[in-house]
Amino acid sequence: MFDFEFHNPTKIVFGRQTVARLDTLVPANARVLVLYGGGSAQKNGTLDEVLGALGSREIQQFGGIEANPTYETLMRAVELIREQKLDFLLAVGGGSVIDGTKFVAAAVAYQGEPWEILETYGAKVTQALPFGSVLTLPATGSEMNNGGVVTRKSTQSKLPFRSPHVFPQFSILDPDKTLTLPPRQLANGVADAFTHVVEQYLTYPVEGRVQDRFAEGLLQTLVEIGPKVLNDPDDDVRANLMWVATLALNGLVGAGVPQDWSTHMIGHELTAGYGIDHARTLAVVLPANLQIRRESKRRKLLQYAERVWHITDGSEEQRIDAAIERTRSFFESLDIRTRLHDYDIGADAIDALIAQLEAHGMTRLGEGKDVTPDVSRRILEASL
């Protein structure tokens, strides 16, 4: 039997023209810092719309948060908040801006050197500034969860943190905000959300029937809309992508069931070392990871084969092979390459990647804590 606590305080406001709702969602007397990325929100008018909705509130802006946000940049926002005594944060962007905002919210009041927040994976965070988000890229689920990932440029460390204090108070999900996304980012969104569900589902059975059926529903939805997302998506496809990506990592499908996350942790090293988009690292690592760990994941792989890909013919080994192959070709169908060689990374890179995993304490990964550096090495070798 499983047990869990589930608490998710984030209010979701979903639909067209919902940015105007900021006026009631942000306290009237708030001193607001609006945080955004490298310029897309300025170019496509979202930033102006946000500023308009905030009306006469005291507002400061902080732009330039990178994809894969850096500690170095975010600490400048922390200084600005302290200096200007700002008390409410509003993230306008994708996972990077929202994650960055979470870190900033926690760092402002942190006693000590804020990088410790990452070194301790969030365990020492005791408070954070309140914040909300306007989501412009459906992918990470950051808009409705309490996790973030921050990179320290100087050491090439990309580390995750979680804290009950960094749930967004609200997130505005207007599917029209995805209209300016290039196909590459839309594809990334599908692949990231898909892998989030897999990391929480494809482990070993614990009779979590509802969690399994929810997870399979999300995966099937992604399989169904995946091709449409790249091929001139209509409004309904955009809306479904946005909602499925949020549900993929808001804690619901993972409640009470074993979770893996080794694909993510290995993938983070590929982003930190080579700048590969987060979702693309997952598309490289996941098929190889499933292959290498097929014994410990056997029961769930067979369930995944049958319920997600409708594979029922052949021996167990053949069905597992087919499910892994379908996973790989799903990513490839999104125009996402799934081999390290496709990103100009060869076998000579693996030692350094393993050393970084070790340096970051990622030595007992996975649902069984059995993904040691040696197993990670075999996964990377199988990804070549």
152: β partners: 157
Q: Which does 18 bind (CB under 5 to 8 A by kind): ligand NZQ, Zn ion, none?
A: none
CA atoms within 13 A on the CB side of 236: 4
Nearest to 245 by CA among 261, 221, 228, 264: 221
How would you label 195-205 residue by residue, b for 16+ Cβ within 10 Å and e otherwise? bbbbbbbbbee
Site for Zn ion in 151-210 (CB under 5 A): 192
Instruction: Please give the size of the binding site for ligand NZQ, defined by CB under 6 A.
Output: 34
CB closer to ligand NZQ out of 38 and 368: 38
Instruction: Tell me, residue by residue from 241 to 260, as one string, x for binding to ligand NZQ by CB under 6 A and - for no binding.
Output: --------x-----------
Q: What DSSP line would sit under 93-161, residue for residue?
A: ESHHHHHHHHHHHHHHT-SS-THHHHHTTTTT------EEEEE-S-SS-GGGSSEEEEEEGGGTEEEEE
Binding mask 67-86 for ligand NZQ (x = CB under 6 A): xx------------------
Residue sitting closest to Zn ion (CB): 192
Instruction: Decide: is 143 part of the binding site for Zn ion (CB under 5 A).
Output: no
| Distance of alpha carbon 200 from alpha carbon 53, whole angstroms | 37
Closest approach of Cβ 23 to ligand NZQ, in Å? 22
Of 167, 6, 153, the residue nearest 72 (C-alpha): 153
Q: Which listed range, 5-13, 34-42, 252-260, 320-328, lies at the site for ligand NZQ (CB under 6 A)?
A: 34-42
- The H helix count followed by the E strand count for the chain is 15, 8
Residue numbers 139-158 binding ligand NZQ by CB under 6 A: 139-142, 145, 147-149
- Cβ closest to ligand NZQ, residue 189 vs residue 258: 189
Question: Is the Cβ of residue 192 or residue 212 nearer to Zn ion in the bound state?
Answer: 192
Identify which of residues 34 and 305 has a Cβ nearer to ligand NZQ in the complex.
34
Query: Closest CB to Zn ion among 33 and 148?
Result: 148
180 lies in the binding site for ligand NZQ (CB under 6 A): yes
CA 195 to chain centre: 9
Give the strand pairing for 88-93 and 131-135: parallel
Is 264 a binding residue for ligand NZQ by CB under 6 A? The answer is yes
Q: Which two tokens stand for residue 359?
A: 């340096």
Output the smallest distance, CB 76 to ligand NZQ, in A.
16
Task: Tell me what percent of the chain is helix, strand and coil, each rounded to the nearest 5.
Answer: 55, 10, 35
Q: How far is the CB of 162 from ligand NZQ (least distance, A)?
A: 9
Partner that binds at residue 99, options ligand NZQ, Zn ion, none, CB closer than 5 to 8 Å by kind:
ligand NZQ
Give 81-86 contacts, CB < 8 A, sequence gap 24+. 81/33, 81/108, 81/129, 82/108, 84/31, 84/33, 84/60, 85/31, 86/31, 86/32, 86/33, 86/58, 86/60, 86/129
Here the tokens at position 50 are: 């946000």
Question: Which helix or strand (DSSP H or E) is residue 296 part of?
Answer: none
- CA–CA gap between residue 107 and residue 152 (Å, rounded): 14
Residue 327's binding partner among Zn ion, ligand NZQ, none (Cβ under 5 to 8 angstroms by kind) is none
Q: Which CB sits closer to Zn ion, 124 or 184? A: 184
Window of 20-28, 39-47, 226-234, 252-260 that interacts with ligand NZQ by CB under 6 A:
39-47
Place of tokens 């509003």: 90
Q: Which is nearer to Zn ion, 59 or 286 (CB)?
A: 286
Binds ligand NZQ (CB under 6 A): choice among 95, 175, 233, 258: 95
**Contact positions vs ligand NZQ (CB under 6 A):** 37-41, 44, 67-68, 93-97, 99, 136-137, 139-142, 145, 147-149, 177-178, 180-181, 185, 188, 192, 249, 264, 278
**Contact positions vs Zn ion (CB under 5 A):** 192
